[in-house]
Copies of this chain bind each other. A is one copy, B any other.
Amino acid sequence: VLDAETLRDTLARIPPQVLLDMVEAAFVAFSEGLAVLPAVGEMSFDDPRGDVHIKYGYLRGGDRYVVKVASGFYDNPSRGLPVSTGLMMLFSQQTGRLQALMLDDGLLTRVRTAIAGALAAKYLAPKEISCIGIVGTGTQARLQLEWLRHVTPCRQAMVWGRDDSKALAYAKELCGKGFDVDVATNLQTLGNHCNLIVTTTPSREPVLLASHVRQGTHITAVGADTPDKQEIDSNIIRNAQCVVADSRSQCAKRGEIAKALQQKRVDIASVIELGAIASGRIPGRQSQTDITVADLTGLAVQDLAIASAVLDTLY
């Protein structure tokens, strides 16, 4: 049983490039059909409002399988508790026995999500990034920008949030980490300045519209991980020359691509998996004027990769 502090300390000892490579390898293995990832298990609660997701899976021929239980209970802040919590378990593929229980409170999920965002930018962002646009001001908004440092030299950023004071706090904090961060008072300004945009909100309605996005922009959407969440206008997906999913089958049911499919803005056959681009099998961005979109809903193979990295570092 590993507590949050041990996990945080251990994670900090792993070079970022190692984690990027491991998560990238997980996406490649997944897209090559080496992963077994059953559909996400779900439960919803009404009073108080909450939801639970169970993600699980493994790579064929690997050592371990992962089971992750993650929840969001939206009244938690009124009790002085964070909304999200979670734990991961690693089990042996040889014996089925528990190898590690990681009481990480969602830390590993947050980091592997940020790593996936960095990988999407690595393969899809335009060559010259003028400014990084971050939509949202929460923990994931912070982590996304921090992890982008490993895939681009750009240190110019712009943040937008519904709450200006949170956007200001975000800008201040990330300025302390080597970025030059401005606060955008509206998304049109952010879209005009930025050609790499990451959306990190829990919105149920589009925040970033097609009119905000200029030619040559890459957008990574990480906030929408359920069938009812949506951050970006489906017309952005319609306009994009390249639409990328972490998992085609999962994104057909959850997130931005699911919404775009419902609204007939995209054909699932044209959606490319991140792992197929990372392996070089399918090209990603083909022109510097293309609009590209990556929709990341989160895969258990990412959980498996990061949890394994931590466990292997510890023992």
- A145 shortest CB reach to chain B, Å: 28
Chain B residues near A89 (CB, 8 Å)? 69, 87
Copies in the complex: 2
Q: Is the CB of A54 within 8 A of B54?
A: yes
- A306 shortest CB reach to chain B, Å: 19
- Complex CA gap A225/B154 in Å reads 56
Q: Mark the stretch among A23-31, A71-79, A183-191, A211-219 that contacts chain B.
A: A71-79
- Complex CA gap A57/B73 in Å reads 16
Closest to A58 in B: B43
Asked if A96 is an interface residue, CB under 8 A from chain B, the answer is yes
Please judge, given known A-B contacts A85-B97, A95-B79, A95-B81, whether A43 and B72 are in contact too, CB under 8 Å. Answer: no
Looking at chain A, what size class is its interface with the partner chain?
35 or more
Q: Of B48, B50, B65, which is within 8 A of A43 by CB?
A: B65
- A265 shortest CB reach to chain B, Å: 30
Q: Is the CB of A69 within 8 A of B91?
A: yes
Asked if A169 is an interface residue, CB under 8 A from chain B, the answer is no
- Complex CA gap A114/B50 in Å reads 33
Q: Is the CB of A76 within 8 A of B96?
A: yes
Please judge, given known A-B contacts A67-B69, A101-B101, whether A94 and B48 are in contact too, CB under 8 Å. Answer: yes
Chain B residues near A43 (CB, 8 Å)? 36, 38, 56-58, 65
What string of 1s and 0s marks CB contacts (under 8 Å) between A91-109 and chain B?
Answer: 1011111100101000000
Asked if A269 is an interface residue, CB under 8 A from chain B, the answer is no
- Complex CA gap A65/B41 in Å reads 14
- A6 shortest CB reach to chain B, Å: 14
- Most interface-central of A46, A85, A93, A96 (chain B CB within 10 A): A96
- A156 shortest CB reach to chain B, Å: 38
Q: Is the CB of A103 within 8 A of B98?
A: yes
Closest to A101 in B: B101
Asked if A315 is an interface residue, CB under 8 A from chain B, the answer is no
- A29 shortest CB reach to chain B, Å: 16
- Complex CA gap A36/B38 in Å reads 20
Q: Of B52, B54, B87, B93, which is within 8 A of A45 by CB?
A: B93
- Complex CA gap A98/B68 in Å reads 13
Given pairs A72-B96, A85-B98, 18 additional interface contacts (CB within 8 A): A1-B1, A1-B101, A38-B41, A43-B56, A43-B65, A45-B65, A45-B93, A47-B61, A52-B56, A52-B65, A54-B54, A54-B56, A73-B96, A76-B95, A76-B96, A79-B95, A81-B97, A87-B98
19 A-B pairs (CB sep. < 8 Å) = A1-B1, A1-B101, A36-B44, A38-B41, A41-B54, A43-B58, A43-B65, A46-B60, A47-B61, A50-B95, A52-B65, A71-B96, A79-B95, A85-B95, A85-B96, A85-B97, A85-B98, A87-B89, A87-B98
